[in-house]
């Protein structure tokens, strides 16, 4: 239906939609990772996490993996609420309306409308892409085939709580909960948008935590929400790799965003902080290599998954994202209020953070003052003070 909506300039102009000025980033026609191909669709069963769950890395790893969420009560609470919400959504999924809503026949307007809805719900960055070849899993973790007949992905990203991540070591008794806090929000937001799109008369499915039917990194790259980093995951110029993402997949006609290029490929080729600081040496110090059709830095996913399972000084690990210099203070939206798109300023900030980290043995001063959580570990149904905790005086 070709009509113009009154009083809704924001849907037609180029103004910034969300909290971060991503409209000022350089856009390019292709992602900054070279893809000589061929890219093969993967099964979730091939992931290191799935292999660890199934005992391929030893029974001890599998046993620890099974309790990895339950063992920290804040993370377990976040996870349980999210699971309950998802279960209700799964059982009471609303049908696709039989009649299509009278929407503007303008893919740019509809794209800005859905991205604005994502920001209304609480996202930090939103992007839209066509679902890239190879991004959809062939099977879920139980071996059930996944069928995703959708052309577009609306991608949500949400930064993890900055002060908590800065006060954390990245592999202690809070860091995994910083992920679950965001996974829970992303699940609610993406399920809400999928429900809305079905009300408009179009099919829509979600790809979110415990229901990831797509890899997220190819979607994040294609939707212009980040570039691939040495970590093997996407990193964006505003809050580094300190975020999680989810997507709504649909055939509602949309206008894809373009990928971004802020110079991360060159930065990561020289930086290597994450590789030097990874506890188990899982991050490559070498140049990029070919992996499933992508030229990228190779992560030893097995080493990483094993440490994530058996970490005895906390739960899971995200130490590399925590100490990456792009995860830095003063990255709230208000800190970019006067930013004019000059990417050099962001490099100055990342360099300053790298220098600070080197000078302070890769610790943040907030580690001494801002640990608001209480270290607790669930063992055999009881919560105890973990043996590895670094409480001060216990009276």
Q: Given the rule CB under 6 A, which residues bind ligand SF4?
A: 229-231, 235, 267-268, 271-274, 278-280, 282-283, 304, 307, 317-320, 324-326
- CB-nearer residue toward ligand SF4: 248 or 320: 320
CA-wise closest residue to 155 among 126, 194, 181: 126
- CB-nearer residue toward ligand SF4: 93 or 358: 358
Residues 6 or more apart whose Cβ sits within 8 Å of residue 101: 199, 200, 201
- CB-nearer residue toward ligand SF4: 86 or 328: 328
CB of 230: closest distance to ligand SF4 in angstroms?
Answer: 4
- CB-nearer residue toward ligand SF4: 109 or 301: 301
- Report the distance separating Cα 64 and Cα 40, nearest Å: 31
CA dihedral 215, 216, 221, 223 (to 10 degrees): 120
Task: Name the residue whose CB lies closest to ligand SF4.
Answer: 271
Beta-carbon-side half-sphere exposure of residue 291 (alpha carbons within 13 Å): 13
Count CB-CB contacts under 10 A for residue 116.
16
* Contact predicate 388/71, CB 8 Å: no
CB of 177: closest distance to ligand SF4 in angstroms?
Answer: 15
> What stretches of 318-388 show up as alpha helix (H) in DSSP?
319-323, 343-359
Instruction: Output the six-digit token pair for 302.
Output: 């097995």
CA-wise closest residue to 204 among 254, 145, 132: 254
CA 391 to chain centre: 31
CB of 73: closest distance to ligand SF4 in angstroms?
Answer: 22
CB of 241: closest distance to ligand SF4 in angstroms?
Answer: 6
CB of 265: closest distance to ligand SF4 in angstroms?
Answer: 9
- CB-nearer residue toward ligand SF4: 49 or 85: 49
CB of 268: closest distance to ligand SF4 in angstroms?
Answer: 3
CA–CA distances in Å: residue 48 to residues 4, 62, 235:
50, 12, 21
CB of 273: closest distance to ligand SF4 in angstroms?
Answer: 4
- CB-nearer residue toward ligand SF4: 117 or 279: 279
Instruction: Output the six-digit token pair for 276.
Output: 């030097």
What is the helix, strand, coil percentage profile of the chain, to 5?
35, 15, 50
Q: Which residues pair with 383 in a beta bridge?
A: 378
CB of 31: closest distance to ligand SF4 in angstroms?
Answer: 16
- CB-nearer residue toward ligand SF4: 266 or 380: 266
- CB-nearer residue toward ligand SF4: 249 or 346: 346
- CB-nearer residue toward ligand SF4: 8 or 272: 272
- Report the distance separating Cα 369 and Cα 371, nearest Å: 6
Helix axes 73-91, 175-199, angle to 10 degrees: 10
CB of 232: closest distance to ligand SF4 in angstroms?
Answer: 8
CA triple 360-363-369, angle to 5 deg: 110
**Secondary structure (3-state) at 86:** helix
CB of 300: closest distance to ligand SF4 in angstroms?
Answer: 8
- CB-nearer residue toward ligand SF4: 259 or 325: 325
Element (H, E) at 276: helix 273-277
């Amino acid at each position: 239906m070709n009509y113009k909506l009154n009083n809704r300039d924001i849907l037609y102009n180029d103004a910034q939609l969300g909290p971060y000025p991503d409209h000022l980033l350089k856009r390019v026609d292709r992602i900054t990772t070279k893809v000589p191909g061929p890219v093969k669709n993967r099964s979730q069963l091939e992931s290191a996490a799935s292999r660890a769950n199934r005992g391929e890395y030893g029974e001890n790893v599998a046993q620890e993996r099974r309790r990895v969420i339950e063992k920290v009560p804040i993370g377990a609470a976040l996870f349980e609420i999210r699971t309950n919400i998802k279960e209700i959504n799964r059982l009471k999924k609303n049908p696709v309306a039989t009649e299509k809503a009278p929407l503007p026949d303008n893919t740019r307007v509809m794209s800005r409308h859905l991205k604005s809805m994502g920001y209304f719900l609480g996202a930090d960055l939103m992007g839209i892409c066509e679902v890239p070849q190879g991004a959809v899993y062939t099977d879920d973790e139980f071996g059930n085939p996944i069928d995703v007949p959708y052309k577009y992905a609306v991608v949500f990203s949400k930064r993890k709580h900055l002060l908590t991540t800065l006060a954390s070591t990245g592999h202690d008794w809070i860091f995994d909960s910083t992920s679950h806090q965001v996974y829970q929000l992303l699940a609610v937001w993406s399920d809400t948008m999928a429900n809305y799109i079905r009300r408009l008369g179009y099919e829509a499915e979600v790809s979110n935590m415990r229901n990831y039917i797509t890899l997220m990194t190819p979607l994040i790259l294609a939707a212009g929400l980040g570039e691939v980093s040495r970590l093997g995951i996407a990193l964006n110029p505003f809050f580094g790799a300190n975020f999680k993402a989810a997507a709504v997949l649909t055939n509602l006609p949309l206008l894809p965003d373009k990928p971004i290029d802020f110079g991360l490929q060159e930065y990561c080729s020289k930086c290597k902080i994450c590789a030097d600081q990874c506890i188990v040496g899982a991050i490559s110090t070498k140049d990029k290599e070919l992996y499933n059709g992508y030229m990228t830095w190779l992560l030893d996913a097995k080493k990483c998954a094993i440490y994530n399972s058996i970490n005895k000084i906390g739960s899971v690990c995200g130490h590399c994202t925590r100490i990456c210099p792009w995860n830095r203070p003063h990255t709230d939206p208000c800190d970019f209020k006067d930013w004019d798109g000059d990417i050099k300023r962001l490099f100055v900030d990342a360099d300053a953070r790298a220098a600070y980290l080197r000078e302070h043995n890769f610790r943040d001063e907030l580690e001494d003052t801002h640990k608001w959580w209480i270290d607790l570990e669930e063992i055999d149904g009881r919560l105890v003070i973990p043996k590895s905790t670094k409480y001060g005086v216990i009276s």
